[in-house]
A and B are shown apart, each in its own frame.
Chain A
Amino acid sequence: AQSVTQLDSQVPVFEEAPVELRCNYSSSVSVYLFWYVQYPNQGLQLLLKYLSGSTLVKGINGFEAEFNKSQTSFHLRKPSVHISDTAEYFCAGANFGNEKLTFGTGTRLTIIP
């Protein structure tokens, strides 16, 4: 069965510093991977997704992620964060043929002015 692990529950980062949010998945079949963002008191919004092709995926708001099959990772990165990036970030995965997503437990990103 698919499982998704987010290694950090909270990540504090200074404004304009780079950030990496870590995500590992386990699967023996083809996998699709997603990063969602949840701003305070809102639903989830898709940041980016990996379905196939290039392993470097670019998303909205300057975020990108790299699919690494050998390390079963899909880490999210941004070179310079802003106060507006304060939110909770969820990694999710799905196996081909299964319509359901498996979510990680989330990483709360706090930007320090």
Chain B
Amino acid sequence: DVKVTQSSRYLVKRTGEKVFLECVQDMDHENMFWYRQDPGLGLRLIYFSYDVKMKEKGDIPEGYSVSREKKERFSLILESASTNQTSMYLCASSFVKGTYEQYFGPGTRLTVT
């Protein structure tokens, strides 16, 4: 079974802090994704990576950056956390040229106070 893990289930940070969210997948997937989920808005893509050191902006990249130094790991970075970044963050992965099915981690609920 594909496993996608995220470093924390719950995280509380203060405004202005630098925040790292980590995601690891064990199926050798080329693609990895970071989404944020907010009530009534569904999932919105923040960043997408299709290979090591390759990234592409999603629909809402402002205030975020990403890092992918190894194929299995994709990090989301909030350079200076703000209260409007309080949300559920979901990581996913998939094969390139596969069936487009994405496999999701359990999510990190981030609260910025």
Binding site for B on A (CB under 8 A): 6, 9, 32, 34, 36, 41-46, 49, 51, 90, 94, 99-101, 103-106
- A99 and B45 form a contact (CB under 8 A): no
- Report chain B residues within 8 Å CB of A49: 99, 101
Taking a contact as CB atoms under 8 Å apart, the answer to whether A103 and B42 are in contact is yes
CB pair A42 B107 closer than 8 Å: yes
CB–CB A46/B101 < 8 A: yes
B interface list, Cβ under 8 A from A: 4, 9, 31, 33, 35, 40-45, 48, 50, 58, 90, 92, 94, 96, 99-107
* Inter-chain contact total with CB atoms closer than 8 Å: 54
The chain B residue with its CB closest to the CB of A96 is: B100
B31: chain A residues within 8 A (beta carbon): 99
Contacting pair B40 A103 (CB below 8 A): no
Q: List 26 A-B contacts (CB under 8 A).
A: A32-B100, A41-B9, A41-B107, A43-B90, A43-B104, A43-B105, A43-B106, A43-B107, A44-B90, A44-B92, A45-B104, A46-B101, A46-B103, A49-B99, A49-B101, A51-B100, A90-B43, A99-B48, A100-B33, A100-B48, A101-B100, A103-B35, A103-B44, A105-B40, A105-B41, A105-B42
